[in-house]
Structure 1
Amino acid sequence: MTSTGDRAADITFRGVGVSYPGGVRGLQDIDLRIPAGEMVAVVGLSGAGKSTLVRTINGLVPITEGEIVVGDRHLPASRGRELRELRSEIGMVFQSFNLARRARVIDNVLMGRLHTAPTWRTLLGAWSRDDVELAMQALERVGIVDKAYVKAGNLSGGQQQRVAIARTLAQQPKIVLADEPVASLDPPTSHTVMRDLERINAELGITVVINLHFLDLARRYGRRLIGLRGGRIVFDGTGEEADEQVFADIYGRSLTGEDVLEARAQL
């Protein structure tokens, strides 16, 4: 799988806000630039706006104020075909994996090629040799190519998440968004998945934006941390700068075992 670094795109938030029905504010006054090829961890309490911020980048959550520019595409101006094209360039990894559990791993990964394949091929499962090769390379990159012809539902949670990452890689994205990708995984598996994302960023030059709750993971893998509180950015800096006082400012309280993956595993 070749590098996509030359295809990477900046992400810019300009005065972005999100309001939900009833007047609930999901995001407020977000001004932020994520340069192409950066790996960013977004941290904060539940309800702070982490998932909202990540999902605005591909339009899954519509913004109600300001604009987001991804490369040369503008949200909310993008509509219809332009929005579909934007989403084809942005891979998404979910907490719940979103796999077809009864389908083989290789077939799940090939779903990342839907935006390029003719409809007749997808309906018949008659994927091109190039698409299959790309899918196998993606599985090799996350270390589970040996599971290619196993049903996805027979895999462990960590393996299923790695299939989901491979599916995203097969899409050949400019950006990968990961929304709480390790929330349901044990510590060793969480580190495995995070190392996969770290390697994808470093080796392929793909921008990676990860929404995380666990602060030790955020500091370990996010070269840049964005701290949200009440829908606003309250910290933007490096993992080294994010000491316990910084996290207390983000969370509005002292840290607890629930905020640290290794400590939570012992509770």
Structure 2
Amino acid sequence: MTDSTSGVEAGAAAPASAPWSIRARNLTVRYPNGVTALREVDLDIAAGEMVSVVGLSGSGKSSLIRTINGLVPVSSGTLEVGGTALHGAKPRELRRLRGDIGMIFQGFNLAKRTSVLNNVLVGRLAHTPTWRTLLGAYTAADKQIAFEALERVEILGKAWDRASSLSGGQQQRVAIARALSQEPRLVLADEPVASLDPPTARGVMEDLKRINQDLGITVLTNLHLMDLARRYGSRMIGLRAGEVVYDGPAATATDEDFAAIYGRSVQREDVLEA
């Protein structure tokens, strides 16, 4: 059905959605090879919070995000995302849940041979009929959402460029715009600045902070750099060997707190600009 005056499909532009909260109780994640990634984790993340999740490689950061997104199953305990219980959830429920969660990866995960705009429109898949996605026949409303997402991360001028022509920082901004085009209730960023130089890393973190502050979207960002965690998270969760060893304000976390999270003294590689 279309609007006779605009030619845009009715209902194509969904209203802004309320942000999601996250609640975990005794959450344990154990992989088939016997590795326990998360051990009896208790968490309450309020809707609209911006949280830095800190820990070294193997601490459970990525497993936490992948479990929240329904990509890794809950072994025991409970996990609720936006009021939906993920423990025992059916595949259809998990697919619906992922449609409202924007994911941002360290490796950008862009289709390099197509345009920036087409990459951002991928975020509309959960809101678009299959036949439209197969034909690339996105509505004017979908394209407007994509353009607005690109403008929010200040890269609208690159909309028609091939993704392969962009710098690493620009590609990550496209990835953020793709997540925004989902009109998400929750954004999960897994080491989004690990491969970027310091000025670009700060710029990407500023983008995520603006998204949280301006749109009210709940944002969880996995980081291993202590200065970024302090500056850009209102709250910090420290993971070590799958357990929560710190949960408190990010800005006041001390070097001793980070040493407890890392299981060793703070080193040069733990700071963005050592």
Post-superposition offset of 1:240: 2.8
Q: Do residues 34 (structure 1) and 41 (structure 2) align?
A: no
Q: Do residues 89 (structure 1) and 83 (structure 2) align?
A: no
Corresponding residue for residue 4 of structure 2: none
Kindly indicate whether the alpha-carbon contact (under 8 Å) linking 1:40 and 1:209 is maintained by their aligned counterparts in 2: yes
What SS class does the counterpart of residue 266 from structure 2 fall into?
coil
Corresponding residue for residue 236 of structure 1: 247
Matches of 1:109 and 1:256, distance apart in 2? 37
Corresponding residue for residue 195 of structure 1: 206
Kindly indicate whether the alpha-carbon contact (under 8 Å) linking 2:231 and 2:251 is maintained by their aligned counterparts in 1: no
Q: Do residues 18 (structure 1) and 15 (structure 2) align?
A: no
Post-superposition offset of 1:7: 1.3
Post-superposition offset of 1:232: 0.2
Q: Matches of residues 1-267 of structure 1 in structure 2 within 5 Å? A: 4=16, 7-263=18-274
Post-superposition offset of 1:77: 2.3
Long gaps (5+) in structure 1? none
Post-superposition offset of 1:116: 1.1
Moved more, 93-102 or 22-31: 22-31
Opposite residue 246 of structure 1, the aligned amino acid is D
- 1:17-66 deviation digits (Å, cap 9, x = unpaired): 01123321100010100000000000011111111111111111212011
Long gaps (5+) in structure 2? 1-12
Opposite residue 123 of structure 2, the aligned amino acid is G
Matches of 2:232 and 2:251, distance apart in 1? 11
Kindly indicate whether the alpha-carbon contact (under 8 Å) linking 1:3 and 1:203 is maintained by their aligned counterparts in 2: no
What SS class does the counterpart of residue 184 from structure 1 fall into?
coil
Post-superposition offset of 1:119: 1.5
Moved more, 31-40 or 72-81: 72-81
Post-superposition offset of 1:2: 9.5
What SS class does the counterpart of residue 28 from structure 1 fall into?
strand
Moved more, 32-41 or 57-66: 57-66
Aligned residues: percent identity? 60
Opposite residue 250 of structure 1, the aligned amino acid is I
TM-score (norm 2): 0.93
What SS class does the counterpart of residue 179 from structure 2 fall into?
helix
